[in-house]
Structures are given as structure tokens and as C-alpha cells.
Amino acid sequence: MVHETPNRVRLRCTLLYRPELDLDYVKAILSSFKGVTQVRLNPRAASITVHYDGRSGVKELLVSTLDNLPQEAYLPRVQENDQMDLLNVTALGAFALVSPFLPRPLAKGLSWLAAAPTLMKGVETLLSKGVKVEVLDAAAVGMSLARADYFTANAIVALLTLGRYLEYTSDKKSVDLLTSLLKPQVEKVWVEIDGAEVSMAADQLEIGSLVIVGSGEMIPVDGRVEEGEASLNQSSITGEAAPRHVAPGDAVLSGAVVQEGRIKIKAGQVGNQTSMARVNRFLENSLRHKSEPERRTEELADKLVPFSLGLGLAEYAFTRDFRRAASVLTVDYSCALKLAGPVGVRTSMYNASQSGVMIKGAQALESMAGVDTIVFDKTGTLTTGDLKVTQVVPFNRLSEDRLLAMAAGAEEHYTHPVAKAVVKRAEEKGLPLPAMSQVDFIVAHGISAYVDGIRVLVGSHHFICEDEGVDTSQADLMASKFRQEGKSILYVARKGVLEGLVVMEDEVRPEAPMVLKNLKEQGLKKIVVLTGDHMETARHLADNLGEVDQIHWELKPEDKAEIVKGLQAQGTKLAFVGDGVNDAPALVSADVGICMPLGADLARESAQVLLMHDDLRGLAVAREIAVRSQSTLNHCFRATLALNTAVLALASMGVLSPLTSAIMHNTSTILTLGYATTRSMAKTKMAEKN
């Protein structure tokens, strides 16, 4: 720690000297800590400056984090960590202007000194990477120096430095926009205290807390399994698709999701320290991985560098004119082609986030632009998901309130819309909920729990009757009537006997018909709806929505994934929209998985696009931004080729001087970056309607 004030601290960290350190990753981790408002890194000085709100523990957390950076903080390939200095740009520009008026020997010495970094970078690049844009720059400057045209040489160096500075600031701004989105949200967790399961906010956890995580939930802490066994999905952390089995004694990381089973974890690291895995995952997707168009554009840019160099050498071989050859060498396609894509993608992602959509990376943005079919899981997407309990029907000696309290006691452990409806109704009536233990969530079926040693089952007819063998015949007529009215039914059983029904109804989202119409106007060919509801309820929904091409009813979770794969087999590019644990297989199978904001952890982690507001209009916004992003990339590509080819042609004909050629080339690059940024930040039609 070098210096501190009540709201600012400056640290010296020699790790910043390491060229393979991912500075974006480090900045994102430090920015994600609660209370931190700004982070600035200076790798040349090995300095980190952090502004925060003065809360205690932040300084210690910063030092601890930097002392224990994970391996993911280091890139497999060395990156350029040079931070451009505006003062240096200004000094080089001023020197270029005064160099014609300096004594000849002084101008010569200072010009070679100013050009030395460009020349050395060109030689180093040629020896280590081959013919790249740095080689062109060095050749153009070297030729101008060789013919004693010091003003041109200095002006080209100043322009190159100015171009790199503007590119650096554009790229830095786009990264900063994204890292500003990484503040972790407070999550609810379940903790065992004196044998009872108690709900609390994640930021209230302490080291040593016994955290309970069940099927479909994300692990909120780093720690070790104390009790139980589970199958974990760690793809969002490690990239490994295969599930990992854990048992008592095994270490687990925050960000993994329990696919099956239920475990109790003794917390080793809590709070902001456990956000590293999520920050890394987001950065890995959005900042390190490039889309296919970006990769193709970069490959083309690299292939065009030898062309420019060869043209410059040929120009000199035929004309013996250093001036014309230098003019050709100041033009390259690489800068604009390589930078417009990443800047445009990151800016588009930020624009989407400001409209309530988190798009997890360049590949997701590209895939979203290419979809022609959208498949919706009904509950919580096309409907509000805000189910309301309309009736409680007991069949035995339990009262309505006791039946409701028993169902709510089991359901309060989960965030599914059905669970929320039951718990909300119990809270409205002021009912005390019984203490539950051994709560087990069976995906898409129901919940098994114990109250005072007695097993309670809450779930669908399939779960209660077919899976658990409970006789539900006394409810058949009544249940059929409720379904014909478009209502959903929750069965409640105790000790193997049906105790009653909890009847609920859902409403179509008011914005849903407009969104579906807008998606069709954007060029989507097919809209498909999947639901576990009975046929009558499903058809009633389709009639209310309009624009629905297909609807499938009475589906199981595995059926949804099979329908998605079947549509893909027909050649469609498909997006799936869902929010439940049972939607995760379909979200993974789709070309693009889209999750609603209140979705289960497993669904949120499986999706490539996350709607951050409970409003379906974000889906139309995401689609429009994605299409515009790809269009912008294509426009930048064509404009770069056209402008630079024109400059190159004029330079090769001797029309342009080296200085004019450099000015026109750098101007085209700046204009291309400005266009990519401006168009990517423009408001969408749906956002304007909002």
C-alpha cells in the first residue's frame, strides 16, 4: 500500500509487470467488490488506484485478492499491456511541426530518436511474428528517414501514435462499459442453524456457515462438502461439460450449479471473494472469445499486410522512388478491421444491458442475429409467471390454512413461479410455516420434504399419482373442471394420502402479443410455444397471443429438449426462451438460450442471453441489437476495404505523399471506429417505444 485517503487507496503490485496478466480480468474482479466505484491500473508503474465508499475491509480484501489471483487471471498468450499517454501523443505532434525549422543535424538526431520505438517494434515483430502491420509502419518511417525527409517521418510517427491512442481509448471504453456490469447481486441462501434451515442474504454469510444447496441451485460460496452427494455442472467455471460428482470432503467453487442431489457446504470463502468465478466466466465469454465473423475479419487483415508490403517493395523496384513506396507502406487494412469488431461488439453488449439484456459474449450476439425460430416455454415467459392462488381445496381433516401452510413450507425453498405463488398467498394470510427438513426438489415434478418426521409431497399430478403412487381419483372431476378454466393445479399429499389441491391461475403478459408481432416483423419465420399444461389451457393461450405457429402441450422436461433438437434437425437456427430448472436442457440444446430474470440458477447459467428486467420487450431489443451489430460489422468491413484500397491506389500512382497517405489512412480508421461505436449505441425501435 503506497498511499491512502478515506475513499481512495493506491497499491503497488509487481504482478502488473507480467505481460501475460489479463488486466481486464484483474480490473473486473476489483471493480466487482461492494463499495468500489473506480479502478485504474498502470502496468508501467505497477500501480493500482482504487476509489471506494470508505467501508471497512475493502483494503484488506484488495490485498488478499491480488495475493491470490487464480490461474484464470493469466492469458495463454501474451497480450499488449501498453497504455497510451496523451502527453506523449501531443509531444510527438509538436515535434513534427517544429522539425522543419530545427538545424539539420539536430533534426536528424531527434527524428531517429523519436522513430526508434516504431523501428524497433517493426524489427521485433518481423522476427517473432512475421510480416504484420508493425513491419509496414517501420518500413514507411525508415524510408522517410533514409531520404532525409524528417518532417514526413516525424509526422507519420505522430499520426501512428495518435491512431493507437484513439484505438486504445475506444477499446478501453468498451471494456470499462462491460466491467461496470459485473457488480454481484445479493442472493438468498439457505443455512442450517441449530438443525433448522434458515433463509438469509448471501452477504450475511460467515466463514464456517453451513450452506444448503439443492437441485437447480447455484453454489454461493467456496468451501467443502460436509454432508450429502450431488452432481455439479461446472461448465460456467471450468468450461468442462461433463458433470462432476461430489461427496463429503470434496472442495466446491462458487458458480457451480447442482444438477442432482442435495449437499451441505461449510463455507471457506464468502461474499465478494467468491465472485471471481462469475467475473471470470463473463470475461471469458465477452472479452476473450471472438465471434466467427471477427475471427474471419482478423485473418483477412493479417493476410492483407504482406500484400501491402509487397506492393510497396514492387513500387520501389519499378520506380526507384522512396517517396511513392513510403506512401504505399503507410496504408494497411489491419487497424480498422481488427478493432471495429471488438469495439462494436462490446458497445452493442453494453447498449443491450442498458436496455435490460445481458448478452454473454460475441458468439451469443452473432448467434442471436442468425436465429429464424424462437421457442418459448410458457410459464414465466409468455405469461407473467405471477401465479395467484385462487382456491385451496382440502379433502381430509386439514383446514384450508393448514393445507396452504404445509404446501408453502415446502415450496419456500425454491424460486419457481408456482412456489412463489403459494408462499405469497400464505404470507398474505399471515400463516406460520412449518419447519421443513430434508427438502428435495425433483425437477419439473415437485418437492419432497419432512415435517416432524412425516413425509410431505407437493407437485404435479404426474409426480403425486404416477411417480409416488398416491391415489388422486377423488380429485379427478374437480381437477378437470379447473383445467378447462385455464387454471393450474398443485397436489399436496402427506403420509401417502392426498390431502388437497392448491388451484392457481396465470395471466398472459400484456406486452407478449406486441413482442411476438415485432419479432415476426424482424424476419423470424416461426414462433413455437411449449407447455406442460393440458390441451385446453394451451390452445386458449395460443388464441390470446396470436402469431404462434406451433404449440405443444403436456410436455415433460426431456420432451422440450427433443422438440428443440427436432426443429434444429430441420435446419432452423433456434432460440429458446425459458426460466425454470426444467428448461436447462432445452436452453443448452438451442443455438441461443434466453432466460428470464427471475429464472432458476441452472437456467440462468445455461443461457447465453439473460433478460435483466421482467419484461419480454427485452427479447425484441436483444434481437434488434444483435442484427444491427452484425450489420455494423459488415459495413465496417466493406468500408475499410473500399477506403484503404482507394488510398492505396492513389499512393501507388504517386498522387499522395507519405504524409497525406498516412493522414487519410488514420482518418479512415478513426471514422470506422466512430461509426462502429455510434451505431452500436443507437437506440432500438423497441427501446424507443418503451
Enzyme catalytic residues? 377
Q: Give the whole-angstrom CA distance, residue 611 versus residue 604.
A: 10
Helix-, strand-, coil-residue percentages of the chain, each rounded to 5: 55, 20, 25
Instruction: Report helix, strand or coil for 48.
Output: strand
Residue holding cell 433438437?
565
Which grid cell is 640? 475499410
Which candidate, 479, 506, 513, places its Cα nearest to that of 579?
Answer: 506
User: Alpha carbon of 536 to those of 372, 376, 483, 549, 627: distances in Å?
Assistant: 28, 18, 7, 17, 37
Instruction: Report helix, strand or coil for 539.
Output: helix
Which candidate, 575, 657, 676, 51, places its Cα nearest to that of 331?
Answer: 657
Using CA atoms in the order 449, 452, 456, 458, what is the torsion angle rounded to 10 degrees? -60
- Positive or negative CA dihedral for 231, 237, 241, 244? negative
SS (H, E, C) 71-119: HHHECCCCCCCCCCCHHHHHHHHHHHHHHHHCCHHHHHHHHHHHHHHHH
Q: Give the whole-angstrom CA distance, residue 504 versus residue 584.
A: 24
Task: Detail the DSSP E strand segments found in 452-598.
Answer: 454-459, 488-494, 497-505, 526-530, 550-552, 574-578, 592-595
CB neighbour list of residue 580: distance below 8 Å, 6 or more residues apart: 377, 379, 380, 416, 444, 599, 600, 603
Beta partners for residue 196, in sequence order: 193
Which candidate, 632, 606, 607, 687, places its Cα nearest to that of 256?
Answer: 606
609 in Cβ contact with 343 (< 8 Å): no
Which candidate, 492, 499, 421, 411, places its Cα nearest to that of 457?
Answer: 492
User: Alpha carbon of 168 to those of 48, 302, 359, 409: distances in Å?
Assistant: 19, 19, 23, 55
Residue 179, CA atoms < 13 Å, CB-side half-sphere:
25
Instruction: Report helix, strand or coil for 414.
Output: coil
CB neighbour list of residue 15: distance below 8 Å, 6 or more residues apart: 21, 46, 66, 69
Cα 575 to chain centroid distance, Å, stands at 16
Starting at the edge strand found earlier in the chain, the sheet holding 257-261 runs 244-246, 230-233, 257-261
Cα 383 to chain centroid distance, Å, stands at 25
Beta pairing class for 446-451 and 263-269: unpaired
Residue holding cell 474471419?
296
Q: What separation, in Å, do the N-terminal and C-terminal C-alpha atoms of the chain show? A: 47
475 class by beta-carbon count within 10 Å (0-12 exposed, 13-18 middle, 19+ buried): buried
Q: Give the whole-angstrom CA distance, residue 264 versus residue 344.
A: 44
